[in-house]
Amino acid sequence: MSSDTASAPGWSYTTLGSQRIPVHCGRQAYDLDMGEWECSWCEADVHVRAIPGWTARTPAEAPGLATE
């Protein structure tokens, strides 16, 4: 299994407005860079591709990202 499709046990996400925030140990994670996040409690790290249910956003979900 490649790291791009590996599942990250214990990780989920929540939303804050239209932004998705990874959650681990019941706490919101810190944004490191380029899709990498770190748990604010245990310092585990993850890339969003490994978080179950996390998918790329479409322009309809993020109208500010749409191009015309």
Q: What was the pLDDT predicted at 3?
A: 45
* 13-58 tens-digit pLDDT: 999 998 999 999 999 999 999 999 999 999 999 999 999 988 766 5
Q: What was the pLDDT predicted at 29?
A: 96
Output the CA–CA distances (angstroms, integers) from residue 63 to 14, 26, 58, 59, 66, in the order listed.
19, 30, 8, 5, 5
